[in-house]
Amino acid sequence: MLTEVQALHHNHTWDLVPPSLHYHALPCKWVPVVKHVTVRIILSLAFSRQLPILQLDVTNAFLHGYLSEEVYIRQPRGFEDPKFPHHVCRLQKSLYGLKQSPCAWFSRLSAFLIHSGFTASKADPSLFIFHKDDNFLFHLIYVDDIIVTGNALSQVHALLQSLNRQFAMKDLGDLHYFLGIEVKRTPDMLCLNQAKYAVDLLKKGHLT
């Protein structure tokens, strides 16, 4: 299987050319996308060691991101200032609909995790790992859906409390449904299926 970088070269995604004053090169950065293999590995590891697998949901995730550039919008309807009706709003945090919002939210959350002692995985930017002595935690982020698992319950709960103080988090308890995948756990197995996701797609396409 080709890595992302190998696939880009194999696909001839770009040609290297010398810089020129006649064009402006847009900035480029890697962004996290869902890697189902990472999800399966973390779930397999957690199940094999009988670890809790918890799911969190971030309330209004994009509203937590700080903007690194100046963005101005007209005063939203219903929030106009009667004293300054022609003023515009300079955003300090991201809003839904801004192209910067997903990156701003991920940057803030990842910075918080790294400050808390986590290390970002080099294989999957959505995975953050905490390891100290014999204790470890795994933190998977996909936009506003989060999976947390680890072998020290006290540290898991401490992390949840810390996240909730910093962001508006909703603890959904044990993992049941994540990224279109239903998760059913018994003492003997962890079953993953996408029946609900498939049915929802059929309903959306009026193909039931």
- pLDDT per residue as tens digits for the range 177-189: 988 889 999 989 9
Specify if 119 maps to a domain: yes
Neighbouring C-alpha atoms within 13 Å toward the C-beta of 201: 6
pLDDT at 9: 58
DSSP of the chain: ---HHHHHHHTT--------TTS-PPP--------HHHHHHHHHHHHHTT--EEEEEETTGGGGPBPSS--EEEPPTT---TTSTT-EEE-SB--TT-TTHHHHHHHHHHHHHHHTT-EE-SS-TTEEEEEETTEEEEEEEETTEEEEEES-HHHHHHHHHHHHHHS-EEEEEE--EETTEEEEE-SS-EEEE-HHHHHHHHHHTT--
* Across 98-121, average pLDDT: 84
Q: Name which of 113-117, 125-129, 156-160 the model is least confident about.
A: 156-160
> Domain range holding 64?
33-204
Identify which has the larger pLDDT, 157 or 51.
51
Tell me, yes or no, whether 140 lies in a domain: yes
Residue 3 lies in a domain: no
Q: Does residue 17 belong to any structural domain of this protein? A: no
Q: Please check whether residue 38 lies inside any domain of the structure.
A: yes
* pLDDT surpassing 60 at residue 2: no
Q: Mean per-residue pLDDT for 16-40?
A: 69
For residue 68, being part of any structural domain is answered with yes
* pLDDT tens digit sequence for 124-142: 989 999 998 889 999 998 8
Q: Is residue 145 part of a domain?
A: yes
What's the confidence (pLDDT) of residue 29? 60
What is the separation of C-alpha 54 from the centre of its chain, rounded to a whole number of angstroms?
A: 15
Total number of domains constituting the chain: 1
24 in any annotated domain: no
Q: What is the pLDDT of residues 44-92, one digit of tens each?
A: 999 999 999 999 888 766 566 666 667 777 777 777 788 887 787 877 7
Q: In the prediction, which pLDDT does 17 show?
A: 61
